[in-house]
Amino acid sequence: MNKTEFLLKLKLQKGIGYVKLLTVAKQMNSEKTIEVEDLKEMELPEQLMEACLKAFRDKDLDRLVKQIYCQCDVIGFFDEEYPEKLRQIYRPPLVLFAQGDTSLLSKEIVTIVGSRYPTNYSRQVMEKLVPNLIEQNMVIASGLAKGVDALAHHTTLNNQGRTIAVIGNGLNYSYPRQNTWLQNQIKQKGLVISEYLPDTPPRPYRFPERNRILAGLSKSVIVTEAKEKSGSLITASIALQENRDIYAVPGAITSELSAGPNQLIGAGATPIVNFKFKNGKI
């Protein structure tokens, strides 16, 4: 059995969360496939071993796997298509579900994040910054949330650029609903990815989990207009831990939405003082 298919079957198995899935994945050998004999050689707790053997032989899971493959592309940690930068992060997703152009995962990616309630300042910045990134053959990633995320995706598409949306729910959901049209456009002209099974609904705790993928995929993270305590700063913090380049759009110290970027700049992030990116750097 293909390793990705087996990981997917485990993911579909009740009682198998990320930690158990990772425990199994760590003991997989270098072969592209896995057999029952390989499982029996693993040093796993008895209950986990039983769950693995059950998942391997479960015909109902086989049908679910086929249904999922009909809905989207499935990329496993051991697949060549799996992005190398993401492979290196702490707690990498072991299975990704994708709709769109998966070749974008091998390109140079810059992540843009910011407030869900930005001012016109972010729009002005995006309108000048994004075209320059596109000229440098950068793929723009964001989280498909309302606000700066949607603005980054829209601006990229409007300038014939390539964009990746990393969502905090399954691919069969669109959240927020106001971004349904945008999500469909990205499927057609870019890429939408998720680590969650396609029918997984949005939940608040899933969005911080999603942020590590946004940070891990990219070479650089750009933050524009974010409060001092926000998901954008969580993404930037993860990116910093993973040795990514952090850029921040400075703003007035009287603006609550500039507190986050200004704080990042004070901590060593590179301030964006012009729009001239070259070789992925200002």
Structure tokens at 104: 């974008």
Separation of CA 169 from chain center: 11
pTM more than 0.85: yes
Q: Is the pLDDT of residue 27 over 80?
A: yes
Arch. (CATH architecture) of 102-271? 3-Layer(aba) Sandwich (3.40)
Residue 121 contacts residue 251 (beta carbons within 8 Å): yes
Interior/surface letters 159-182, b for 16+ CB within 10 angstroms, e for the rest: bebbbbbbbbbbbbbbbeeebeeb
Break the chain into its structural domains and give their ranges: 3-71, 102-271
Measured CA angle at 98 (ends 107, 63), to 5 deg:
145
Handedness of CA 66, 68, 72, 75 (dihedral sign): negative
pLDDT above 90 covers a percentage of the chain that reads 90
In this prediction, residue 275 carries a pLDDT of: 82
Distance CA 11, CA 62 (A): 12
Tens digit of each residue's pLDDT (9 = 90 or more) over 138-175 = 999 999 999 999 999 999 999 999 999 999 999 999 99
Instruction: Kindly tell me the number of DSSP H helices and DSSP E strands found in the chain.
Output: 12, 9
Can you tell me the distance from the alpha carbon of 248 to that of 107, in angstroms, rounded to the nearest whole number?
22
